[in-house]
Structure 1
Amino acid sequence: MTSTENPRAGVRARTRGAILRAAATVLAHDRNAPLSAVAEAAEVGRSTLHRYFPDREVLLAATYQEALSEIGRVMDEAEVEKGSALEAMRRVVAAHVEVGDWVVFAFGDTANEVFDDAPAATDPEPDLLTNLVRRGQEEGVFDPEADPAWVVQVLWALVFTGLERAERGQMPRHAVAPTVVRTLERGICAPG
């Protein structure tokens, strides 16, 4: 019997997913939040949480890996290689805002680096993004004098700032991507 045929396997996968989503949300905003807060957000008992993740480190590592998976999924859906660089950059911003809690959890705390199987130098997403900036420079839509790595760092800073403001109730979540795009474009687009 495959896991798709086994109803218990489906329940386990949904419960595990709910715990990981709750962990990303809760721990993105308070790395030291008690695991009881994660269990409550996942709508499971603490004993259930511990059956899936016996301790905090195991939960953090699994949440980090799931965050990378979710970010990778939306980046694939953004189809960065298609269309103009400007449109692709807009899709990248929207993709990262869509999975905002995963982004904040994964990259908002350098402590997560211990869970990273691939060193940052080999991480394909920054290469994908710096190449996107270079493509925009070649297309004449991004400032040719802007350092692509700098632009990517600015992109992350803007996304984080937007997500933080939305979390604090200082702007609606749906306004984050357009605000980031507008700010980014006015800062990196070629003059003219």
Structure 2
Amino acid sequence: MRTDATEVLESAIPILAKDRAASMQSIATRSGISRATLVRLFPTRQHLVQAMAQKILDDCDRILTRAEADTAAMEHVLTALVADYPPFAQLWNLVYVEPDVLGIPEASARAETIFTRTVELIQRGQDAGLLRKDMPATWLASTFCGLAETAWELTLEGHMGQRQAPDFIATILLRGAAA
């Protein structure tokens, strides 16, 4: 039985993403834990949702920090970023839309900073000649996040394999949808 807060959050994030109205009982049951355990870790649904947002923001921050420090060729940096796409999908899927998070200025500010850092990383990809320069970096960063969200949702629904998703994201991001 899962009793570690991080494990519970990892299992609860996709549940809430698929069912915004999920109750604490439903989240507990679908996470494979008792409601008592969930409430011990997160006393209210608001605490749970805010902890989810914190985890997602921390994960995005960790991935971006690693990418920003990477001195490898930019192609490798972008490949690593795309391989770690789920937190960026979750950022768009939960952090930007969940009312219990939107009202927290610190979370909104962190999300905006993460997006700005993503734009800067995309600009590095443009400067390295890997990404189109005829489109704004903001558009391409938004495209990456949108592709990440789509891939994550399709993976959760069983329409795409977890190992397929990064390849699909990279293909569209680096080559577009042209035949």
Q: TM (normalized to structure 1)?
A: 0.76
**Residues 10-50 of structure 1: CA deviation (Å, up to 9, x unaligned):** xx9x5322332222121121111121122124433212222
One-letter amino acid of the counterpart of residue 57, structure 1: Q
> Structure 1 pair 80/59, CA: closer, same or farther in 2 (3 Å)?
same
Whose radius of gyration is greater, 1 or 2? Answer: 1
Which of residues 16, 22, 41 in structure 2 aligns to 1:52? 41
**Residues 77-121 of structure 1: CA deviation (Å, up to 9, x unaligned):** 445642233322221111123x47744653463533224515448
Identity %: 23
> Structure 1 pair 78/59, CA: closer, same or farther in 2 (3 Å)?
same
Matched, 1:150 2:139: yes
Matched, 1:109 2:97: yes
1:122 Cα deviation from its structure 2 partner: 7.5
Matched, 1:133 2:107: no
Paired residues in the alignment total 175
One-letter amino acid of the counterpart of residue 127, structure 1: T
C-alpha contact 1:78 1:91 (8 A) present in aligned 2: yes
**Residues 117-175 of structure 1: CA deviation (Å, up to 9, x unaligned):** 15448733222222222222222232222100000011111111111111222111110
Instruction: Report what 2:50 is aligned to.
Output: 61
Matched, 1:166 2:164: no
Partner SS, residue 114 of structure 2: helix
Aligned mates of 1:101, 1:141 — CA distance in 2: 22
Where in structure 2 are there 5+ consecutive unaligned residues?
none
One-letter amino acid of the counterpart of residue 32, structure 1: A
RMSD: 2.8
One-letter amino acid of the counterpart of residue 40, structure 1: T
1:185 Cα deviation from its structure 2 partner: 0.6
Instruction: Report what 1:85 is aligned to.
Output: 74
